[in-house]
Structure 1
Amino acid sequence: MLEIKDLTVNIAALPEPILAIPHLSIPAAQQIAVMGPSGCGKSTFLNIISGLLKPTAGSVKWQQQELTALSATACDTWRFQHVGMVMQDFYLTNGLSALENVLLPLAFRHWRISDALKQRAESLLEQLNMPRRHSDVAKLSRGEMQRVAIARALLAQPQVIIADEPTASLDAENSRNIARLLLEISEKEKCTLLVATHDRFLSEQLQRRLLLQNGVIMSDQQTGAQLC
């Protein structure tokens, strides 16, 4: 469960906060679309709730863990253990294959990658329609890179999936495949899913929609959506 209270994010050059949320509660395993025009605060919101950015003031608590009380190193450790992230910049490593990039974060945690993890990585890439899993990521299209980044985020079965425009670089068919995969994994593994998106199809499948405008939540709607 995520609980936000009295949160503000200020930038010195601007007179008003770029994000201001008096209160927001998100139950565990809920699927949420974060929507709004470009520059409304969606990416800032995702960075705050993942611990990548500290707010100017306020509380951000996952379960009993207050993120604002953690050091940068402790916050990195918490995020590595609990969160799968798909960012607009994919942070893939050139010279490694798609499969190696999916496995890379866990290679830092384990002396040896288990066969089960390798099989899960292969399965995720297959579900994401990524046949070029042994190709150097430098040779992949942006859409293929996005699918590799999504597989990497899902590999360790995180409690929370945070995705910033996960279908932005994809055609309609692959966008729908990724929407379905994110929803299926969220349902199956009981993890919380938060997605910043302009994708109407994806947003319509999620259980709840937050609409941000000028850093403020203008509407918070339960959609009653079912798994697509």
Structure 2
Amino acid sequence: MTPTHGKEVEYWQLAGARTLLSPYEGWSKRIPDNAAEWRERLFTLVRGLRTASVDGARHPAEISAELRLAADLFEAFPDGSHKALKNLPRAATEERTPGVWREIADYVDNWGADLETFCARPMDTWELSLRFPRFSQILPIYFGQDGVAISDDMHDATSEEGIRMYIEETHPRCPWDLPSVVAECHQAMAVFHTEHQMDRFFSSAAMAGGSGTEDFTDFFPLFARLCVEHLRESHSPLWEPRA
């Protein structure tokens, strides 16, 4: 790839690669030169990305293609100055970065754990976070420590009032946004079975979110119900069969 051609690549075109390499994000972190180490670390993320692709997210082949594109870019811009390479973790040995990215791309393409291996590894925070892309924004922004739903202006607001504010600010995009929020509510209830688990994950491990005046075990059913009620009352019918 020539530098001239490489300049056409945009930052967002490597978003999938950043997601895969997110465990190594940060100034003090680097992808190990030892492939066995990064394979161990990325196993659950690749599994999660493959699962997500069944639900309509990026196909793993798209992510491996992004990694190879990033490797080509790095070779064309070895100082890492290209805007698309920003926030993309490097290898521990800087000059090995393109090669390591290509090795990871091959790993993604050829990932084929047998059923026993697939099921033996428990889910981790990185993998589970892939299931909650909307909550990663909604819960911190609206219900986090400094969230707008619990700000000084709304310090007496209930969780229900905070949820209704979110729905109001989402309107009229509700038919496109709220069904996914409802799905994430039910995924949360399916994956986490106690208040302690939910609080640890959504308020600390995965994101700095919150649930307002309610426990998460009550918050998620409430959030889902209010979204569905709004869709029925304000946007129905969303679809009708053609005659």
**Pair in the same fold by TM > 0.5:** no
Higher helix share: 2
- Which structure has the bigger radius of gyration? 2
TM-score (normalizing by structure 1):
0.23
| RCO comparison, higher one (Cα < 8 Å, 6+) | 1
Structure with greater proportional strand content:
1
